[in-house]
Chains A and B, each alone.
Chain A
């Protein structure tokens, strides 16, 4: 067995509950929205972990927790051995240099009043110790060149760029501090198909050149498949199945993963008759009041009484050597 490198990021049982309170004068906590409810995973240098799930499953909240844009309710997350969740502001700021984020919406994540040079160079203001000695403009131009933008554009404003170009600006900003981990929260969802491919290729090229590790969050399973080495499927704040890209996509054992994969439209009209879509009925239950036992049981066609009483752990199942949180895990190929 090949020796795996030490994980650069290790998340243990991350939890984020948002309190629901009633009353104006004396607010009383009456419940909690369990957005992320015990998520653990590891990320190794240079690899891409794809995080998929329907809206409301907690994938974006998890990204914010890892960046400490939200305060976690419980759990631990070690970035290069330091606990992100228990760090004080000064130390946290220094540690954040190693982990940056690319946001979903390139239209709202760039300040319209700042020039591209200011946007891409702003991380150097916040982290002066990481700023390049000497000519900062030169560093900004190199960054722009690295993401495929013309350095002459440095003095323009975001509105002068198309969506794909803006996303490149966002990526250049994330690269400024030479991070080792980049969290990409739906980086291509707002882009057109032809431009989406350009940005995905750019992210892959940067990974090869700089040895970056990505956490790639998306609801588009085809894009995730394309870019990821490993996949984690989330449902209602928990990971229900995880494994290598091939394990999860070709040999899914959790019914939710199977349903999710089967519903992805295939751009091939000849596949219409061959495809078998597993139709999930209903919607994702409220994370404020998740079902007992297995959270997926209310929409699962295999649900048994045991599923309501006993929560299935995310553990290796006999059918395929990758973790799956289902009592009745079985192989079911959905992709031809």
Chain B
């Protein structure tokens, strides 16, 4: 029995290769694909993207609201989330399951299933352009090419019946229209870049032949194939062992610095965040409850939820008796409590917390805010 090489054939249901999307991209004289440095040179398509004006952020999400229509009513999953990232920066979005962090990422990527999801309001400004209002074609150009995503479960995110190299270079073939030999060469380069050993021999292997950590590297290579400006990593190391997790986080940090990407790291792990993030946005019940730079957040958490979260992490270097725990469970997005969503679990809760939802207010320095009726000093005073 012979297996046909996918490099020699088309993906099923895919139209025959059209003219290159970008003229001159596959021009052999451009010196493009063969030399890794040249390969990273800005492709011509970038010219079309509006360059951010000074004072603007690379990606600026404002007041994003996402709802899901369910049988039990409308689930308010994302309720007015704002954040921004700049090139070369790592923003961590921290939250437990059900906090809306993954849905936020999917809304930014434009990969939400609509319906059941509905983006109610908000703006996703990428280089000054609101991605929520642009045409589907334009959106498709940005997705993967400018903003790319690494998913949590690499085994289910990869197609089991195609070799990894073929999947890594799929976007290059379909969007840049480069030929198969070049695509294969590019896949090897990308696999080298994410430090997969013996890339040239492994390019034709299938996902099941790789370990969990190597599969995650394949995912990263695939996301980086188009050299995006923003990389969203949704729980990239959750399914991995600590030793492998450390390798993957290192790799992401190195690539972010080398390629001057903005990295949005979505995670529930306070340990991972402390190692790599520059700034942290903490989400609870679809809202941002606190954002701060990483050092401030860990040293002086302002919001009671952040405080509880930090206290409930078991630590290697502190062996104490009894772990602090936050009572109760995160709310169901179809039935978020009135007022502050955290009030049923908050040891500081007062009448005002049950009545009115606190807004995100700036604390002290620029770019640090917390959504609590009580300033951190007041919380400290109540503790004493």
Same complex for A and B? Answer: yes
**Interface on A for B, CB 8 Å cutoff?**
54-55, 162-165, 192-198, 200-201, 204, 219-223, 225-226, 245, 249, 259-261, 263-272, 275, 277, 279-280, 282-283, 335-336
Identify the closest chain B residue to A265 (Cβ).
Answer: B271
Pairs A–B under 8 Å by Cβ, sample size 7 = A195-B325, A198-B325, A225-B316, A226-B323, A260-B243, A263-B246, A265-B275
Partner of B322 from the list A162, A204, A277, A336 (CB cut-off 8 Å) is A204
Residues 92-137 (chain B) with a chain A CB within 8 angstroms: 96-97
Q: Separation in Å of the A332 CB from the closest CB of chain B? A: 15
Given A162-B329, A201-B325, check contact A219 B241 (CB 8 Å). Answer: yes
Question: A245 and B319: CB pair below 8 A?
Answer: yes
Q: Separation in Å of the B171 CB from the closest CB of chain A? A: 27
Q: Separation in Å of the B64 CB from the closest CB of chain A? A: 23
Question: A263 and B268: CB pair below 8 A?
Answer: no
B310 interfacial contact with A, CB 8 Å: yes
Complex CA–CA separation, A155 to B275 (angstroms) = 45
* Chain B residues whose C-beta falls within 8 Å of the C-beta of A280 in the assembled complex: 243, 247
B312 interfacial contact with A, CB 8 Å: yes
Question: A283 and B271: CB pair below 8 A?
Answer: no
Partner of A266 from the list B211, B250, B274 (CB cut-off 8 Å) is B274
Question: A266 and B295: CB pair below 8 A?
Answer: no
Q: Separation in Å of the B250 CB from the closest CB of chain A? A: 8
* Chain B residues whose C-beta falls within 8 Å of the C-beta of A266 in the assembled complex: 271, 274-275, 315-317
Question: A283 and B244: CB pair below 8 A?
Answer: yes
* Chain A residues whose C-beta falls within 8 Å of the C-beta of B193 in the assembled complex: none
Question: A197 and B325: CB pair below 8 A?
Answer: yes
B25 interfacial contact with A, CB 8 Å: no
Identify the closest chain B residue to A57 (Cβ).
Answer: B241
Question: A-B pairs with CB below 8 Å: how many?
Answer: 130
* Chain A residues whose C-beta falls within 8 Å of the C-beta of B250 in the assembled complex: 279
Question: A193 and B241: CB pair below 8 A?
Answer: no
Identify the closest chain A residue to B240 (Cβ).
Answer: A55
* Chain A residues whose C-beta falls within 8 Å of the C-beta of B326 in the assembled complex: 194, 197-198
B209-242 contact mask (Cβ, 8 Å, vs A): 1 or 0: 0011110000000000000000000000000011
Q: Separation in Å of the B243 CB from the closest CB of chain A? A: 5
Given A283-B211, A335-B317, check contact A196 B312 (CB 8 Å). Answer: yes
Question: A263 and B245: CB pair below 8 A?
Answer: yes
Question: B242 and A193: CB pair below 8 A?
Answer: no
B75 interfacial contact with A, CB 8 Å: no
Question: B274 and A272: CB pair below 8 A?
Answer: yes
Complex CA–CA separation, A239 to B284 (angstroms) = 41
* Chain A residues whose C-beta falls within 8 Å of the C-beta of B325 in the assembled complex: 194-195, 197-198, 201
Interface residues on B, range: 35 or more
* Chain B residues whose C-beta falls within 8 Å of the C-beta of A269 in the assembled complex: 274-275, 277, 294-295, 298
B324 interfacial contact with A, CB 8 Å: yes
Interface centre among B243, B274, B325 (most CB of A within 10 A): B243
Complex CA–CA separation, A332 to B108 (angstroms) = 45
Given A201-B322, A226-B319, A265-B269, check contact A54 B243 (CB 8 Å). Answer: yes
Complex CA–CA separation, A162 to B325 (angstroms) = 16
Complex CA–CA separation, A165 to B323 (angstroms) = 18
Question: B316 and A249: CB pair below 8 A?
Answer: yes
The 7 closest A-B pairs by CB, nearest first: A265-B271, A197-B325, A197-B312, A192-B96, A194-B326, A226-B314, A54-B241
* Chain B residues whose C-beta falls within 8 Å of the C-beta of A245 in the assembled complex: 319
Q: With A197-B325, A222-B314, A265-B249 given, name 14 new contacts (CB 8 A).
A: A55-B212, A164-B329, A194-B96, A194-B326, A195-B96, A197-B312, A197-B323, A265-B242, A265-B271, A269-B295, A280-B243, A282-B197, A283-B211, A335-B317
**Interface on B for A, CB 8 Å cutoff?**
96-97, 197, 211-214, 241-247, 249-250, 268-275, 277, 294-295, 298-299, 308-310, 312-317, 319, 322-327, 329-330
Partner of B246 from the list A55, A165, A279, A282 (CB cut-off 8 Å) is A279
* Chain B residues whose C-beta falls within 8 Å of the C-beta of A268 in the assembled complex: 274, 298
Identify the closest chain A residue to B329 (Cβ).
Answer: A162
Partner of B270 from the list A193, A219, A275, A335 (CB cut-off 8 Å) is A193
Q: Separation in Å of the B283 CB from the closest CB of chain A? A: 13
Interface centre among B211, B309, B314, B317 (most CB of A within 10 A): B314
* Chain A residues whose C-beta falls within 8 Å of the C-beta of B243 in the assembled complex: 54, 259-260, 263, 280
Identify the closest chain A residue to B320 (Cβ).
Answer: A226
Q: Separation in Å of the B37 CB from the closest CB of chain A? A: 26
Partner of A193 from the list B96, B246, B247, B277 (CB cut-off 8 Å) is B96
Question: A264 and B313: CB pair below 8 A?
Answer: no
Question: B317 and A336: CB pair below 8 A?
Answer: yes
* Chain B residues whose C-beta falls within 8 Å of the C-beta of A264 in the assembled complex: 242, 271, 316
Q: Separation in Å of the B295 CB from the closest CB of chain A? A: 5
Question: B298 and A267: CB pair below 8 A?
Answer: yes
Partner of A200 from the list B244, B270, B323, B330 (CB cut-off 8 Å) is B323
Q: Separation in Å of the B35 CB from the closest CB of chain A? A: 27
Complex CA–CA separation, A259 to B241 (angstroms) = 12
* Chain B residues whose C-beta falls within 8 Å of the C-beta of A220 in the assembled complex: 314
Interface centre among B247, B316, B327 (most CB of A within 10 A): B316
Question: B272 and A165: CB pair below 8 A?
Answer: no
Q: Separation in Å of the A258 CB from the closest CB of chain B? A: 11
Q: Separation in Å of the A54 CB from the closest CB of chain B? A: 4
Partner of B268 from the list A193, A261, A283 (CB cut-off 8 Å) is A193
Q: Separation in Å of the A247 CB from the closest CB of chain B? A: 13
Q: Separation in Å of the B233 CB from the closest CB of chain A? A: 15
* Chain B residues whose C-beta falls within 8 Å of the C-beta of A279 in the assembled complex: 246-247, 250
Complex CA–CA separation, A201 to B311 (angstroms) = 13
Complex CA–CA separation, A318 to B64 (angstroms) = 61
